[in-house]
Amino acid sequence: MLKKMGEAVARVARKVNETVESGSDTLDLAECKLVSFPIGIYKVLRNVSGQIHLITLANNELKSLTSKFMTTFSQLRDVPVEKLAAMPALRSINLRFNPLNAEVRVIAPPLIKFDMLMSPEGARAPLP
């Protein structure tokens, strides 16, 4: 079991390093056996988090995403509404101050069974 955990950690580290080194706008953490978003990733990505517009977290075992995730990656543009709608335990998602595309704003509300908090289109986060 420890070997599998080590392999999963190495896979996440490799994928994060690829994103940082390539300057990509995509962070692909699909199939990494994540149960939460690793805290260490925030430090590694601190200089490039603003350029990441797509994060793939498919096929993991995530139970939640913290507010730190949402504030660190506040520039995400696309929300996989159909995947969120298929999460029966999801009760709420806060996507305020993200530049969501118009399709998400129109399509999401009738499809989802949870609270999806969004800011008005074009709204900016208050300055700290």
Task: Kindly give, in sequence order, each residue whose CB lies less than 8 Å from that of residue 92, ignoring residues fewer than 6 positions away.
Answer: 114, 115, 116, 117
The answer on pLDDT for 19 being more than 80 is: yes
Residues 81 and 112 sit within 8 Å (Cβ to Cβ): yes
pLDDT mean over 14-25: 90
**Residue 71 confidence (pLDDT):** 76
The reported pTM is 0.64
Across the range 60-82, mean pLDDT stands at 74
In this prediction, residue 22 carries a pLDDT of 92
- Between CA 22 and CA 45 the distance in angstroms is 12
What pLDDT was estimated at residue 6? Answer: 77
> Residue 26 pLDDT more than 70?
yes
Token look-up 């498919």 returns 58
Tell which CATH architecture fits domain 1-117: Alpha-Beta Horseshoe (3.80)
The residue ranking higher by pLDDT, 5 or 55, is 55
- What is the pLDDT of the chain when averaged over all its residues? 76
Cα distance between residue 13 and residue 35, in whole Å: 15
> ∠114-30-8 over CA atoms, to 5°?
120
Arithmetic mean of pLDDT, 64-91: 71
